[in-house]
Amino acid sequence: MSGQKKVMTDLERVLGFTLTDLELEVDKTEAAELAQAALQLQRFTAPEPTKASAQRLLQAVRRYVPENAPPRFRQTMQQAGVPKAGFSLSLLTLIRPQISLLGRPFWAATVLLLLLATWLVLLPNNTGQLPLLMFAPLTGALGIVYAFRSTDERVLELEAASAMTWQQLVLARMILIIGMNVAVLSAVTLISALLLPGFPIGLLMLSWLAPLLLWASIALNVSLRFGHWAGMVTSFAAWGLQIIVRLTLPQWDLFSLPGSIGEIALRLALVILALATLALAVRSADNQRDLVSHHLNRS
Amino acid sequence: MLTDEELCRQLQSGSEVALESLVHRYHGPIHGYIYRQVNDESTTDDLVQETFIRLCTRMGQYNYPQPFKPWLYRIALNLCRDYWKSAYFRQAQQSEELSSQQVDDNPSVESIYNWQETRQEVMAAINCLDEIYRDVLILRFYQDLKVSEIADVLEIPIGTAKWRLFQALKLMKDQLTTGGEAYVWTKESDD
């Protein structure tokens, strides 16, 4: 190896990168001086800590070792507390902790669905209803799977041992997911209205809100009573039924834009019916907890 | 042997054994690093302790498998910066200036060994450097961090870290008296 090359190699080894990275041209003399300066740096020695000082350090730091902190979900559930007995909105306090369960895949899937739905809406010769018709029950079904995932992940027994019933937990998650679906579809509707001038935004919203809430609330009640597979089947059956109705009896298609006062009234009534069904599910879950409490108190 | 990152994960679960291992691995390097930044043993001990306390209290912010070493050095560097900003540091600096004037009047200073003189020269030269150059210099030449790790600690692009490192060495070369002593490897290079 030539002297020039050796000096450069040594300097580059000391620096930890090649000089060509910086597009620098350094002559042999300067490179030697730089490397020599680097060697001189070694003169600045630092005292080595003793074993005793390491022990003192450990003693001082040990009490700051993090305790085995419970997961965020458990912490927020503890903060939420147990819903009060009787039919009350206190059950809704359980919803907030469920948000911490929503991981990145959930948000990613939501964004993907939103983008897909927006793209479908923007397709030419499309009124924007069909994509909504397709996605509403699909997201509902996925929501049911998500809400009941504890059974698949074999942690249901943990939930069963908690102060609130699994019905309450499922309900809280389902309400969260239905709320999420409503938010996503509202966004899609808004985009549709903005991109398609003259579109009746209120009527369009009613056209998907009524069937979505109705089928979701029915599916939720079925899920709570008969399990999540029954809930999913109900959700898809409602979807299939809706498609059949759309093809054979379009005047009864709930996803169509309401044209008359009667049709608007019908959809509003369906929304109210869906909310009542949801309330029924809330009450059912609440009663279930009271039964468990009563049983525990007696025993 | 467990990696630093795996030890960190265990520490997150409250393992004292993991803490002991990390202290065993990093007490010396962090002590040396902080000492070269603050040049005071007593302050170094305090800051080293504070570094490891922060390591424990901020364990919740560590995301496995994020590299541990740059993260730890960043904690230490931030503590040094806090120290420099502190009133205590400014006070200490003033009293040091005063005492150095007194020492200069003392003829016994001339009796110190050559290596000590050189050490003081290097130390003074490093202290004269701008903070941005001093940081890269210490991390590279004393802590033996890779350029990518230095960039991570200082939260700067790798290219910037390389450039600062080269400039820092040039500045050191200008400040240090390099004559008088020929290094073995230099002789070999000329062969």
Render pLDDT for A49-107 as a digit per residue (tens, 0 to 9).
988 899 899 999 988 887 765 555 666 666 666 655 554 556 667 666 666 666 677 77
Looking at residue B105, its pLDDT comes to: 45
Q: Which of A31-45, A55-69, A156-170, A258-272 has the lowest mean pLDDT?
A: A156-170
Residue with tokens 């993907």: A112
- Which candidate, A91, A33, A43, A32, places its Cα nearest to that of A287? A91
Based on the number of CB atoms within 10 Å of its own CB, is A294 exposed (0-12), middle (13-18) or buried (19 or more)?
exposed
pLDDT of residue A149: 60
- Residue A1 forms contact with B (CB below 8 Å): no
**CB neighbours of A259 closer than 8 A, spacing ≥ 6?**
none
DSSP B109: G
Which has the higher per-residue pLDDT, A80 or A195?
A195
Please name the amino acid found at residue B178. Answer: T
- Residues A119-160 have pLDDT tens digits of 665 666 655 555 555 555 566 666 666 656 655 554 454 555
A24 in contact with B at a CB cutoff of 8 Å?
Answer: yes
Contacts of B172 in chain A (CB under 8 A): 37-38, 40-41
What's the confidence (pLDDT) of residue A80? 63
> Model-level pTM greater than 0.80?
no
- Give the percent of chain A with pLDDT over 90: 3
Q: For B178, which of A17, A33, A69 is closest by C-beta distance?
A: A33
**Residues of B in Cβ contact (< 8 Å) with A68:** 13-14
**Which site among A6, A40, A58 would you substitute to test the B interface, given the most B Cβ atoms closer than 10 Å to its Cβ?**
A40
Residue of higher predicted confidence among A290 and B7: B7
Q: Which residue has the higher pLDDT, A40 or A83?
A: A40
Nearest CB to B119 within list A44, A54, A57: A44
- Eight-class DSSP state of B61: G
Binding-face residues of A in 199-258 toward B, CB within 8 A: none
Q: How confident is the model at residue A266 (pLDDT cuts 50, 70, 90)?
A: confident
- pLDDT-derived band at A227, boundaries 50, 70, 90: confident
Distance separating alpha carbons of residues A254 and A220, to the nearest angstrom: 19
Contact partners, residue A58, CB within 8 Å, separation at least 6: B19, B20, B23
Does B45 contact A53 at a Cβ distance shorter than 8 Å? yes
What pLDDT score was predicted for residue A178?
A: 77
Confidence at residue B93, expressed as pLDDT on a 0 to 100 scale: 63
Higher pLDDT: A227 or A230? It is: A230
Q: Encoding tokens for residue A10? A: 């040594």
Task: Give the closest of A33, A49, A58 to B173, CB-based.
Answer: A33
pLDDT at A292 over 60: no
On average, the pLDDT of chain A sits at 73
Q: What is the ipTM of this complex?
A: 0.77
Residue with the bigger pLDDT between A20 and B136: it is: B136
pLDDT along chain B (191 residues), means of 10: 87 86 93 91 93 90 87 94 76 57 46 62 86 92 92 93 92 70 38 37
pLDDT value of residue B178: 46
pLDDT reading at A30 higher than 80 = yes
